[in-house]
Amino acid sequence: MSIAPTGSSRRGRPTDQAEVRRHNAAIVLEALAARPRSRAQVAAATGLTRATVGSIVEELIAGGLVTEAPQQDDREPRGVGRPGTDISLDASGGAGIGLEINVDGLSVVVVDLVGDVRHRAMRPGDQRGRRSSEVLRSAARLVDEALAESARQGLRVRGLGVAVPGLVDLEAEVLRVAPNLGWQDVPVLERMAKAGKGGWPAATLDNEANLAALGELWSGGHSGTDSFVLVNGDVGVGAGVVIDGRLHRGSRGFGGELGHLTVAPDGPECRCGARGCLEQVAGLDWILRSAGLEPRGRSDAVPALVAALDADDPRAVSAVADAGTSLGVGIAALVNLFDIDTVLLGGIYAPLYPWLESSVQASVDRRVLSARWAPITMRPARLGRDAAVVGAAQSALRDVLADPLGALAG
């Protein structure tokens, strides 16, 4: 897994010498995030002078963000710059911790600066019915363990990203509502920090579908695809909309709640209080019940469902196909609104993709006005159910990649 470049072409024009140097350092680090290069190759790739690149590289090496090693081939022309040495990101130069709080459990990962997962832990179990304070204490213990493991591996943790299934007030750092958990106005970061051992890095809170979309953007390996919808399925259903490499949050940051799009006005009541929401006819609980499997409290629910599908169990096959048809209705609405040509199915939908694909595609093709002239590409998300927690960890590293000199000064 690698961390994608940060997209310096979209940065604003720097206004003074210090800003120019920080801007240039970010461009250099972006070039090195793509692949190891010599100083001369970085200069050629960025358009900066070799003197500027050399000076910045030395500062980044001193700060532990990049490292140099002998080249493994003869890519560098002899007699140019400092031949024979490659510069690359230093894996130990920074790490991000990602935590996901979901209906069916808690998970945490530590991702280093080059995008490798260095630690992973899970606490499976249905979180519905537990008090938020109890869940957040469990989550804080996972973070404390991840910090301890990071220290053992010699990783400097640069930040913590927390993914939650609901509407997040980014400015107030409050989870406004999570219908499937029954939570409302919960200051997640504040309560977790109080429950932890202390010494935590800066933390951010975001919606799990948004972070899953960013995880796929940064580490999914979708080369050449910078506009897509990531539909993240679990008990709830969310969507992350990425347009031109940027997450589209909406005017107040509450966008992407695909699971609460009404697809059956007279359908089952949703935990949000409405009827016929998409997640009530395409979420994990509905699929499991329709397939004749127990929907609550089973960490092996998806593997059990996949086993039934592999065995051509008619109830399971029918349940997934019906969910796919409903899911296609929601996806078509997004495509008609945003004119996006690529849809990634993540979360539980990734392992179910072979059985979902035809019904989702058929439903989308029937409802997307432009489908005849502009076909929609559908594929499973590469990170699967890890997308949100990995995206959360990598979000904690973005400040380092976007402003390495600022991170070193901090």
The CATH number assigned to the domain holding 199 equals 3.30.420.40
Q: Are 99 and 85 within one domain?
A: no
The one-letter amino acid at 21: R
Residue finishing a domain among 36, 59, 89: 89
Distances, alpha carbon 134 to alpha carbons 106, 109, 223, 312, 389, in Å = 12, 21, 41, 40, 20
Beta-strand pair 342-347/246-248: unpaired
Where do runs of H (alpha helix) occur along 153-278? 188-195, 208-219
Give dist(CA 197, CA 65) in Å, integer. Answer: 27
Distances, alpha carbon 136 to alpha carbons 159, 164, 393, in Å = 18, 11, 18
What's the confidence (pLDDT) of residue 10?
Answer: 46
Q: Is residue 1 part of a domain?
A: no
The DSSP output letter for 384 is: G
Residue finishing a domain among 89, 117, 150: 89
What's the confidence (pLDDT) of residue 128?
Answer: 87
What's the confidence (pLDDT) of residue 264?
Answer: 86
What's the confidence (pLDDT) of residue 14?
Answer: 57
What's the confidence (pLDDT) of residue 227?
Answer: 87
Query: Are 12 and 403 within 8 A, CB to CB?
Result: no
* Separation of CA 121 from chain center: 17
Give dist(CA 240, CA 38) in Å, integer. Answer: 36
Number of domain units in the chain: 3
Give this prediction's pTM: 0.87
What's the confidence (pLDDT) of residue 213?
Answer: 93
Q: What percent of the chain has pLDDT over 70?
A: 92
What's the confidence (pLDDT) of residue 401?
Answer: 85
Residue finishing a domain among 31, 63, 89: 89
Give dist(CA 209, CA 232) in Å, integer. Answer: 6
Q: What are the start-end ranges of the E strands in 288-399?
A: 342-347, 377-380
Q: Are 341 and 314 within one domain?
A: yes
Give dist(CA 304, CA 318) in Å, integer. Answer: 15
Distances, alpha carbon 266 to alpha carbons 330, 353, 360, in Å = 16, 28, 22
Q: Which residue, 345, 302, 309, is CA-closest to 324? A: 345
Q: Which residue, 390, 404, 51, is CA-closest to 221? A: 390
Q: Are 247 and 357 within one domain?
A: yes
Q: Are 82 and 157 within one domain?
A: no
Q: Are 268 and 403 within one domain?
A: no
Burial class (CB in 10 A: 0-12, 13-18, 19+), 11: middle
Q: Are 356 and 371 within one domain?
A: yes
Q: Are 397 and 356 within one domain?
A: no
Q: Which residue, 400, 392, 6, is CA-closest to 214? A: 392
Q: Are 246 and 363 within one domain?
A: yes
CA end-to-end span of the chain, whole Å?
Answer: 27
Q: Is residue 216 part of a domain?
A: no
Q: Are 199 and 237 within one domain?
A: no
Query: Are 161 and 209 within 8 A, CB to CB?
Result: no
Look-up of token digits 């078509």 = 332
What's the confidence (pLDDT) of residue 267?
Answer: 87
Q: Is residue 108 part of a domain?
A: yes
Distances, alpha carbon 396 to alpha carbons 204, 301, 303, in Å = 8, 31, 31
Give dist(CA 334, CA 111) in Å, integer. Answer: 31
Query: Are 283 and 231 within 8 A, CB to CB?
Result: no
Q: Is residue 168 part of a domain?
A: yes
Around 386, how many Cα atoms within 13 Å sit in the side-chain half-sphere? 18
Q: Which residue, 195, 155, 330, 351, is CA-closest to 258? A: 330
Q: Is residue 49 part of a domain?
A: yes
Residue ranges in the chain whose pLDDT is less than 70: 1-15, 72-84, 295-299, 410
Q: Is residue 218 part of a domain?
A: no
The DSSP output letter for 63 is: T
Q: Are 285 and 297 within one domain?
A: yes
Q: Are 155 and 137 within one domain?
A: yes
The domain of 332 spans: 223-381
Burial of 281-304, coded b for 16+ CB within 10 Å and e otherwise, reads bbbbbbbbebbebebeebeebbee
Q: Is residue 98 part of a domain?
A: yes
The 10 Å Cβ neighbour count of residue 253 is 17
What's the confidence (pLDDT) of residue 78?
Answer: 47
The 10 Å Cβ neighbour count of residue 24 is 20
CA dihedral sign, ordered 111, 117, 119, 124:
positive
Query: Are 183 and 133 within 8 A, CB to CB?
Result: no
Q: Is residue 145 part of a domain?
A: yes
The 10 Å Cβ neighbour count of residue 369 is 11
Q: What is the CATH number of the domain that holds 68?
A: 1.10.10.10
Look-up of token digits 């081939």 = 73
Q: Are 256 and 366 within one domain?
A: yes
